[in-house]
Amino acid sequence: MMRFTIIILILNAIGAFSQTPSTHEFTFYMGCSFNGTAEVGFQVDDEQLMYVDFHRQKVVVTLPQFIVYNPSELIAAHYVYRNSVRNRKYCLSVLYFLKELEKLKQSTIPPEVEDPPDSILYPSEEVELGVENSLICFVNNFFPPSINVIWTKNGDVVSEGVSLSRYYPNNDQTFRQFSTLTFTPKQGDMYSCTVEHPALERPNTRIWEVDLGHPSIGLDIYCGVGLTVALLGVATGTFLMAKAHFVQ
């Protein structure tokens, strides 16, 4: 909730009645806020002379009695309290005007566009059981730069061994960031990286499992391509041999 407070200061320099010429600063201050409170006071050189007590509807004089015989009569003659009430109303009117002006300003500002992040989870090095490694959660293409990364191991939240990089800007005004978890692979362990961001309807979670019991997809593809090339070579050689026999 916005709070508005306005303070008006009126400064006047006056001469002190003494044998040594000098200049002093006389200050009248008035302040008000939306909760209905207001302050009005007078001071000289940071020393308070009087203030207005709106609750008791009177002016409280802090001026010493020896300066004037009856300070209250002096203040009453200048209608300090009546003028203070009038000035308080004026102060509140200015305050409400500034509030409406702020609302109008906010309504003309277009809402900020948010971009949800993409994330991937992968080990930094080739995985070997019992050998320390690092999992990298790479979060990219998000705006504004405000994300929260949560790591888990076998369903339990992990905080030890976790690090988070600074935000790096992309060329399209989005950002990227890395979070790293240091771990020691053990067969069957399951890790997850969950990313929270204002543009996401729900947190984005990536899962990685230690499973060295099966050959990797890359190896399968490599073997498949090699087998295809070998079969193609056999077929080509057979065709050429048959063609040469037919020509003879």
Name residues of the chain where pLDDT drops below 70. 1-22, 34-36, 46, 49, 63-79, 109, 213-248
User: Which numeric CATH code is attached to 5-107?
Assistant: 3.10.320.10
- Judged on CB neighbours under 10 Å (0-12, 13-18, 19+), 153 is middle
Cα angle, residue 30 at apex, residues 28 and 32 outer, rounded to 5°:
175
Domain boundaries defined on the chain: 5-107, 118-209
Record the pTM.
0.46
| Closest-CA residue to 175 (of 150, 217, 140, 151) | 140
Rounded to whole angstroms, the Cα distance separating 94 from 6 reads: 8
| Closest-CA residue to 113 (of 147, 140, 148, 142) | 142
- The confidence score (pLDDT) of residue 228 equals 44
**The listed CATH number (3.40.50.970, 2.60.40.10, 2.40.50.140, 2.170.120.40) that belongs to domain 118-209:** 2.60.40.10
Long-range contacts of 22-30 (CB under 8 A, 24+ apart): 30/84, 30/87, 30/88, 30/91
- Per-residue pLDDT tens over the stretch 71-101: 555 555 456 777 777 777 778 788 888 888 8
